[in-house]
Amino acid sequence: MLPRRALPVLLPAAAMAQQPPLVAAASNLQFALEQIAARFAAEGGGALRLTWGSSGNITRQIEQGSPVELFFSADEDFVFRLATAGHTRDRGVPYAEGRLALFAPHNSPLRATDGLPALRAALDAGRIQRFAIANPEHAPYGRAAEQALRAEALWDRLRPHLVLGENVSQAAQFALAGGSQGGIIAWSLVLAPALQPRGTASQIPTNLHAPLMQRMVLTRRATPAAERFYAFMQTRPAREIMARFGFALPGE
């Protein structure tokens, strides 16, 4: 199972000062960021508290006072929204461009390796009962999934069968659940060791949806420890890990 973690409640300033910095990230980053954080700690950077969610929900929690110090959004517009409202130091920097994937568990009649035409064929044959995506209302990967399905004239046909995850990590859980024929999730999750052996997948063409431009930003609460990790994310070791999880990187 892919764990869900809620953002902690507000803590007194003295208690916060004794804790590692709170880093909130879009759930498609879960496995890549855990590896990067481990590398950061191994090189003497210190511990981090990592939490995952949809970019929209994390944004609202920061607006409501959550003690997040560093935010990794799957949609740069959420960073711009926080910056405009004065919650961040600046407008941050891009760290990746995400990719969508059509995924199906091994027991599914959906041939995910054949792409969206295979989803159309499975719908034609009446073989799709449950299909997972992240909620388009607050999850960037869900919004991109809806755009891709609309571009292929599949959205209206698929809507009665949709199961919506709060974020793309939960959508991956739903895609694997009993009775599900698959889903559209993040390519980075497909490449994760927890998911890769459990199904088949193919990338969805990027021309079917708006670019998934991902941006990170330090909030007004950021401590020197958060600053160090922000800088580490822009180094070669971190970028190499991101590339292994299928992210396109700024400048490459």
Contact predicate 105/113, CB 8 Å: no
Cα–Cα distance measured from residue 149 to residue 158, given in angstroms and rounded to the nearest whole number: 8
What pLDDT does 82 receive? Answer: 98
Domains of the chain in start order, with CATH, are 13-97+211-244 (3.40.190.10), 98-208 (3.40.190.10)
pLDDT (tens digit per residue) in 191-246: 998 888 999 999 999 999 999 999 999 999 999 999 999 999 999 999 999 999 99
What pLDDT does 178 receive? Answer: 85
Please give the single-letter amino acid code of residue 22.
Answer: L
Cα–Cα distance measured from residue 45 to residue 67, given in angstroms and rounded to the nearest whole number: 20
Within the chain, which residues score under 50 in pLDDT?
Answer: 1-16
Helix runs in 9-139, H state only: 13-17, 30-42, 55-63, 76-84, 116-124
